[in-house]
Every structure is written in structure tokens, then in C-alpha cells.
Structure 1
Amino acid sequence: MDRSKFSKRQFAAPPWFWLGLIALWGIALGLRFWGLERFDTLVFDEVYFAKFARNYLTQTPFFDAHPPLGKYLIAVGIWLKGFNPWGYRWMNALTGSCIPLLVVGLGVQIARRYSFALLAGALATLDGLLLVESRYGLINVYVLAFGLLGHWLALLSGQQRGWKHWTALTLAGLSFGAAAAVKWTGLGFLLGLYLFWAIGRLGRLGRPGLRLAQELPLEQFLRLSFTKLFIFIPVTGAVLYSLLWIPHLLQNPEFGFIEVHRQMFGYHQRVGNGPSIHPYCSSLPEWPLMKRPVSYFYQLASSLQDSLPATGPPLPFNKAKYVYSVYAMGNPPLWWSATVAIAIVLGMMVWHVVLQMRQLIRPSRNILRFNSEKHYVPLYLITGYAANILPWLSISRCAFLYHYMPAYLFSSLALAWLLETGLPHSLKPLRILSLVAIALSIFGFLFWLPVYLGLPIRPLEWQWRIWFRSWI
């Protein structure tokens, strides 16, 4: 049966969906807030972002190479809870716990399949890198949250009329502006929508006699005009982006709005690359394979009573009884499966185009004809992935695995889409393969959980989790 012919009432979420959503959020909240103050020290880039956030509260001038919104949000946490590990981390934990919910909402908008949406949210909950980034005073989770929210609202706007339509469009623009106000890389989310709209409009022939309410959400999004998508949304985002700079510029009057952007751009141009700049630098080709994770915290202890961080000379490895280690790394089985999934989805779309090219002898045929879910969903996933990874081809500065997170989310959605299709498939090997992929993802998350949460483990247990020399 064609899902596009269902009525709106038939799209009502079943009770099991809401129960699953609550369960996912509960798990995400627990994992992010449990032991949040474990290390009473600034971890990785907390030495910048947490201090910059405090500078806003103390009115201390400073220069930062990123826009200010992420530090504003951390500053709110410090203002409410003080400058301590809980104070500069809890806003990130709360925001990070909502990302699986945003993935679920986006999944519903993409395909109107609640099983697919819930599975996508579960995979986001099982991602180790997203968990680690959510437990420290860093700013990457804000880029993801605002970017996903912008996508959800933009797709939702295509299904609304009147004031609801304009409200969704306005909020989408504000979300993309907020994403850019955390890091400029947040614009990759908006670029993904532009690519999908442009290619989708080029190949959209429509289905004769199909009512608007019967179209897929992605098809309805393609009905947005050029003016709304390319002028109204970016202008709305640019207004918010500019306004968010006002508190920073008032506190730091050395540079005006234009000059501070020149200084920021110049900083990123001057930052070099390679181990001499930072031992955990990595490049785009390495990210899909997770070749170089980032060590955020590492300390050896002779007993569980040792205070952290320890003072004095470091303990030799052969004298240690416990290792406290935090690795910013994905869930390996899930990460690699997602890489394979986005490659499969890309192959499906390439094959579709090849088949269309073979029919070029018919003048009425369109080389990029899209007319069903099996075309629109892969196109959306591929354009979202490409928009968040290809711009890094032109970046020469030192980059890290977490810069791949926006693109990874689209590859994870691709994996969920393939798994949800494979689980009920008539071919038994596909059903088994899907179950194995899910089981390995759960196992991988539990196995590497100690290095996500920084739990004390024996040195040998730590070595079991460091599979490659490049991970050290």
C-alpha cells in the first residue's frame, strides 16, 4: 500500500511511540546527568568555553574564534549553579539529551513512519560521541540541536497553512541563525536543505490527481517558493545572528561587528594542521572510519580513593590499578554501520539516475525523476550528509572527529531507514543482518560506555577498548 495515500488521521502516533519516546529521553537524561561532576577540572576545550562563559558574567574582555551563543548558554548554567563542573556542564547535558528527541521528530517528518523515527532516535541515544560532547562544557551539541530543529521546522512549514506556516518558517530561520551563532559550521544544515530543494525541484514531476495532504512531507517542502527558502529564512536567521552579537560587542568594544568577523576568519586561516599543532588532529577522509578519536581526559590511579585530578608526578602505567579515561569517539559498530549505510543509500540514488538515463530516448522522461518515498528520503539524506562534510574539503586548519557529527547524524538516519526496511523484509538474510546490526550497536555502546563516562577500569580493560594505535 502506498503510504502517501493515508489520511491525516491515520498518521496519529500510536501509544507505543510515545512510550518509546519517553523511554529514550529518560535514558538520554540519565546517561548525561549521572556523574556529571566526576572530574573537578576543566576538560579539553572547557579551558576556553567555560572560562569565556564566565567572562560574560564577570564582564571580562576576551577574544574568541567562534560566535558567542554557545558561551551565552553555558553562562546561563554558571549563573544558576556557579562556576563548578555541574554549573558549566548541565546546560550541555540537558541540550544533548534532547537531540535524540529532535532526531525522532525529524524522522517523522522525513517519512511519516513512527517505527523508523523511533529507531533513528534509539541510534542517536547509542552514539558515544554525542554522549561525551553532551557531558562537558563544549559547544558542539548546540550546533546539532539548532540545526536539527531548523530542519524539523522547515519541513513542518510545508505542511502548514496561514499563520502556522509563517510561524514555522520564522522559527526555522531563527534556528538556523542560532546554529550559525554557535559555530559557522551550523550553516551546513541550511545548505543541506538548499541542495535537497534544488535537486528535488529539478526532478519533481508530481503525481497527477494527488491532493496536497496526501503528499509526503518532503514533497510538501518542495512546494516552498524560492523567496521563502532563500530570502525569508536566511534574512530571519541573519537578523537573529546579528542581534546575538550585541552583548559580546558591548563587553568587547575593541572590534566592531565587521572587524571581529575578520579577526575570527583570520584566526582560522592561521591555525595550522597536523600533530605538531594538536596530537588529535584528523582529516575528512578519516572521519567516516573513526580513525582518530580525541582523548578528553586520561589519568592513572593506584586506588579508587585517589582524588581526581591528582597532584604530583604522573603514575607509571605499570604501577596503575585503575584508568580514568574519556574518549570523544563514536560507538564503533554503529559508526561504521552508518558509514556503510550512507554509501548504500548513495549507491541506490546513483542507480536510480542510471536507470533514468537509459530512458533518455523518451522526451517526456526526466533524468532526475522522483516520485516516491524511495527517491525523496535517500535524496534528503545524501544532500544533508554532503552539505555537512564536503565544505571541509577546502578547510586546511586542524580539525577533529567531532566536526563530523552533523554529517554523521544523516548517515545514522540512513542506517535507521535501511534497518527499518530490512527488519520486516521477506528475505530472511536481510532480517538477520538488520538484527545483527542493532545487536552490535547495543553491545558496542555498553562495551565502550566506561570510556564515554570516564568510569574507573583496570589497565587491561582499557587496552581492550583501544583497538588501533591511532586511537591512542
Structure 2
Amino acid sequence: MAFLSIFAGSLAIRFWGLNRFNTLVFDEVYFAKYGFSYLKQIPFFDVHPPFGKYFIALGIWLHAHFMGGLEAFQNAATVEEIDAFAYRWANGVVGTTIPILVGAIAYQITRQKRYAILASVFVALDGLVLVESRYGLINVYLLAFGLLGVLAFLKSLTSARQTLWMMASGACLGGCASVKWNGLGFLLGIYLLYGGAWALQSLKSTCDRRFKPSDLETESSISGDDDANPQDDPTPPDRKILKNPLRSILEIDRLDFAIHFALVPFLVYRLLWIPHLQLNTDFTFAGMQWQILTYHESIGNTAEAHPYCSTWYSWPWMVRPVGYYFEAVDRGLQTIVFDVHAFGNPPLWWLSAFAIAGVTFQFVRQGIDGVLNRPMSQTRFLLHSVLVCQFVANFLPWAKVSRCTYIYHYMAASLFSFMALAWWVDRALSCRDRRWRILGSVAIAIVVLGFWYWLPIYLGLPLTREAFDARMWFRSWY
């Protein structure tokens, strides 16, 4: 019921006034146009893979054939001539699934409902995910397929149908990269998790050689409640070999891993290019990859290239959001502002930045405990491993990117920082000390209030100039 309520609330707020601005907003001038061009068979050049625009095209087609927009679509020569709802509604549906997918990942690892609900709620209360879900843009498709890939991989660790789940994971991750190349961050996170499992095993083996094969090994399921104190066991810790908490990952054969997380993603990526290349015949598949690469390498990285450029290390602190739409209307003695910003929920983002740093510290400390054969929580270490690997894989590679980057490039990494915050809040709520429970409740309240306060600039609701300026706390936010 909780997840159904989150889904219903997220869906309602994404569809409320969806065509309030019945004009192309920000990169809709590219993505909505390209989706329309697929249906009208108009060749065009695009600097991203095509998968996200296929969904926009599907949304326009369904709107035309089942939602009363057929005549307008048939008579339209450009995308500007159809209702904006046509190229936005599919984003609203897919964007609504993102909080649910995050909650599903949290539950798959921990089997803790409250933690999963908190993670889902925090994502639902993020402004940037909301804004991207309300316009004909493509980042929500990258997030949805990336999260599906991670979820399928985690299910493969506990399912009797491991091969099927790994194949599904690889296919989703291939689809993710087919939206934008930075979707490869989710796949890199899987590689880091797999490599980390083997690295931990190698280090443990080195430290455990002094133990006899008959020494006791502790048993634990990655999805069960294994936070019981291992010290309750009468066997002294220095005489016990603890199993690798990521051992289920080690059970994946290396060849199988290569097939499902290298070959399958590439095949999906290649197949998804076919419709695009049939319409746009100027370049071959390889030629298009080169064109995309050279285009992105040619973009500058200063305010002259784009006024909303921002550095990767500034994203968690939300230093420079992106303005998507702005209109100021004089109404007598007042100026009414209509503004849409690609703008996160500030309290959520700032708290999450500290939360993921804390989880990273815990992850390192637990890793050292594992290597030194000290008792540790199996489930908690798996959770922290997933959060840290996915956050690092989706965030740190941007440090090497020389082109102009924007705050929405942080979206994939931010989801895992929200999960980190949910974990800390859940722990606080479970604490016997009343002060920690109050602190956890205050954190939730601050995030909710932040979402409510900045909601007008997520939805483009009318504000007086004074009310708008009151929400722009820093000059760099304008």
C-alpha cells in the first residue's frame, strides 16, 4: 500500500498541468523534435544514441491514435504544431517508476520495508527527477533502465534462474547506454562490484592462510537478516574464518559475467541503432559513434559554451542548477514569474552528500574488518558496496570529462546518495535513544518542507517576483 501511494502521488504531480507551457522547453527543441521526426520519416543528425527518442516517438504515436490527437498529428509539419502533452506524457509515466525502482533495489538487498519506503519517498521528493519527468527529455529513460539493470543483477544473486536475470540485467544496461553514453556508469558500477568481490576474496585468502580448513565458517544469506552479533558464537573470532559477504557474486562464472555484462549490452546497443540508421543513412553504425565522440569532444567547458555549465564536484552541493524556462509578466503593480529550474531539493541533496560520505567511510571500515576476519554485517556490507560502487561509477568519471557539463549529469549518482540518506535515517528511527529518533524525524520533515517550498519552480507555478527571489538563495541559482 505504501508503494502504491508513492506511485499514485508521483504520477499525479507529474501529470498536473503537464502542458502548462505549450511550447518547447529547453532540450525539447532537440529530443521532442527527433521523436516527431522518426514518425514523419524526416532524416536528422543527433549527438546521442536513439533509444530515448524512440520512447518520445511512441508517446506521440499513442497520443495521436488513442488520445484524440490524430488530426493534429497528421496535419503537423513540425513538432511545435502538436499539443505538448503528446511528447511529455510518456516521460511522466516512466519518471513515476523511478522512486519505485529505487525502493525495490533497497528492499531486494535488505528485505527491510521501512528502509525501502524511505528510499522511495526521498526520490519522489527530489525536484530534479520531477522536472525531468515532466518534459520531453531523455534522462528519465537512462535512470529507469539503469535501475532495472541493477535490480535484475541483484535478483540474479538469489534466484534459481540466475542466467535469465543476468541476461535481463545486461539487456537493460545496454538499453541504458542506448539513451546516453553516460548510462554506462550503471554498468561500470556492476563491474566495480564484481571486481571488488574478487579483490576482497583475494585479500581474505592471503590473511586466512594461517587457518586450518576445518575451522568454522559462518553462514549467511545476502538477503536475510544477518545483523545478529557474531560474537555470540563461542568460537573465538581469531580462530574463525568468516565468509566473504560478497560471495554470491563470486559464484558467477567469469565467462558468464563477460557474456551477460559485455556481449549482451553491446548486442542490445547495436540492435537499437537499426531504426535510426534506416532513416538516417549518412553514416554507418561505426561512423555514428565517431560523430558522437568528436562532437562531445569539441564542446567547450566555460560559461561562453553555455551559461549553465557547472563542474562535477559542485553538483552534490547544487551550486549551479539549470534554468529550463523563465517568463516574467507585468500585471499592474506586480510582476508574476513563471520559472522552471532543473533544481534538486536542497535539503535532500545537502544531507545526501554527507550521507554518502558516511556510507563510504563505513564501507571502507567494514572492508578492512572483512579482510582481517573480524565479525561484520553481511547484508549491510552488500548494501554499502552497491551504494558506493554505483555512486562512484556514476559520479567520478565526470572528473575526466573536459566538455561543458550540467547538474543533471549527477542524477544517476544522486539516487544512490538518497538511498544512503534513507539508510542513516532508518537507523536513527530504529535507535533506542529518543534523541536519534527525533533527529531522523526532523531530517524527513526538512526534506518534505524543502520539496513543498521549492515546488513552484519545479512545476512552473506563478510566483510574485519577491516570492521567486526568496527561493533563489544564491546568486548562482539564477
1:290/1:377 CA distance change after superposition, 3 Å: same
CA RMSD of aligned residues (A): 2.1
User: Which residue number in structure 1 is paired with residue 252 of structure 2?
Assistant: 224
Q: Does 1:447 align with 2:453?
A: yes
In the alignment, is the contact (CA less than 8 A) between 1:300 and 1:320 conserved in 2? no
Deviation at 1:275, TM superposition (A): 0.9
> Is the 1:176–1:189 Cα contact (8 Å) retained in structure 2?
yes
Please give the per-residue CA displacement for 1:157-178, whole angstroms capped at 9, x wherever unaligned.
11111xx322211111110010
CA deviation after TM superposition for structure 1 residue 351, in Å: 3.5
Q: Deviations over 1:332-374 (max 9, x none)?
A: 00110100100111122334456678xxxxxxx369x965223
Secondary structure, aligned partner of 2:430: coil
Contact 2:366–2:376 under 8 Å retained in 1 = no
- Look up the SS of the partner of 2:340 in the other structure: strand
Q: In structure 1, the residue corresponding to 2:193 is in which secondary structure?
A: helix
Q: Secondary structure of 1:36's partner?
A: coil
Structure 1 counterpart of 2:57, from 75, 82, 101: 75
Query: Superposed, which structure 2 residues align to 1:298-313 within 5 Å?
Result: 298-303=326-331
Does the aligned pair in 2 maintain the 1:155–1:221 contact within 8 Å?
no
Q: Residue 49 of structure 1 aligns with which residue?
A: 31
Aligned with 1:329 (options 332, 335, 343): 343
1:150 aligns with 2:156: no
* Rounded Cα–Cα distance in structure 1 between residues aligned with 2:59 and 2:334: 35
Counterpart position of 1:267: 295
Distance (whole Å) between structure 2 residues aligned to residue 213 and residue 376 of structure 1: 7
Q: Of 314, 323, 326, which aligns to 1:295?
A: 323
The answer to whether 1:386 aligns with 2:392 is yes
CA–CA separation in structure 2 for the residues paired with 1:143 and 1:328: 16
Question: SS of the residue aligned with 1:136?
Answer: coil
**Residue 29 (structure 1) aligns with:** 11
CA distance in 1 between partners of 2:259 and 2:169 (Å): 13
Query: Contact 1:423–1:435 (CA<8 Å) still a contact in 2?
Result: yes
Question: So what's the TM-score if we normalise by structure 2?
Answer: 0.86
Aligned residue number for residue 105 of structure 1: 104
Which residue type is aligned with residue 22 of structure 2?
A: D
Structure 1 unaligned segments of length 5 or more: list them: 1-18, 304-317, 358-364
Encode CA deviations 1:243-299: one digit per residue, 9 max, x unaligned: 110111111111001011001000000011111011101011110100000110110
Q: Deviations over 1:136-160 (max 9, x none)?
A: 0000000000000000001101111
Cα distance in 2 for residues equivalent to 1:214 and 1:56: 44
Question: Percent of aligned pairs with the same residue?
Answer: 43
In structure 2, the CA distance between the partners of 1:219 and 1:298, relative to structure 1 (3 Å rule), is farther
Using the TM superposition, name which of 404-413 and 431-440 deviates more. 431-440
The one-letter amino acid of 2:289's match is H
Alignment partners' CA distance in 2, 1:414 and 1:101: 16
Contact 1:200–1:376 (CA under 8 A) maintained in structure 2: no
Deviation sequence 1:204-256 (CA, Å, 0-9, x none): 56982527687679653443222222332321111111111011111111100
Is 1:190 matched with 2:204? no
Aligned residue pairs total: 430
- Residue of structure 1 equivalent to 2:360: 346
- Give, in whole Å, the separation in 1 of the partners of 2:108 and 2:368: 28
1:19-77 superposed Cα distances (whole Å, 9 cap, x missing partner): 10110000100010110000011000000000011111111111111000000100111
- Which consecutive residues of structure 2, in runs of 5 or more, have no partner in the other structure? 64-72, 74-81, 206-215, 227-244
Q: In the TM superposition, what are the counterparts of 1:361-372 in structure 2 within 5 Å? A: 365=372, 372=378
Q: Do the aligned partners of residues 60 and 384 (structure 1) sit closer, same or farther apart at CA in structure 2, a change above 3 Å counting?
A: same
Output the CA distance in 2 between the equivalents of 1:457 and 1:184: 37
Aligned-partner Cα distance in 1 for 2:465–2:96: 30
Query: Paired residue for 2:437, among 417, 431, 446?
Result: 431
Contact 2:356 2:421 in 1 (8 A): yes
**Where do 4+ consecutive residues of structure 1 move more than 4 Å?**
204-207, 211-219, 353-357
One-letter amino acid of the structure 2 residue matched with residue 444 of structure 1: G
